[in-house]
Amino acid sequence: MIYVVAGGTLFVAPRIAGGEEITHAALANGGPVQAAGELEVVQCGEDTTVIHLDNRS
């Protein structure tokens, strides 16, 4: 998954959606960001936990 923080809001999306690659720029609508990278999460019941977070964008 990828993420960006833009305007103080966290946006998260899968790297690939509908067979197309989602970019950090698209996720931020081409605007400035405070942070961007990739993350990995695991789901256990109703809980979701981030197990990896980096700034690779």
pLDDT at 57 over 90: no
Alpha helices in 1-57, H assignment, sequence order: 24-27
The answer to whether the CB of 25 falls within 8 A of the CB of 12 is no
Give the residues across from 3 on adjacent strands. Answer: 12, 37
Give the residues across from 49 on adjacent strands. Answer: 42
Q: Provide the pLDDT for residue 25.
A: 94
The answer to whether the CB of 49 falls within 8 A of the CB of 22 is no
CA angle 29, 24, 34 (to 5 degrees): 80
Q: Provide the pLDDT for residue 39.
A: 95
For 16-54, how does the pLDDT look when each residue is reduced to its tens digit (9 = 90+)?
Answer: 999 999 999 999 999 999 999 999 999 999 999 999 999
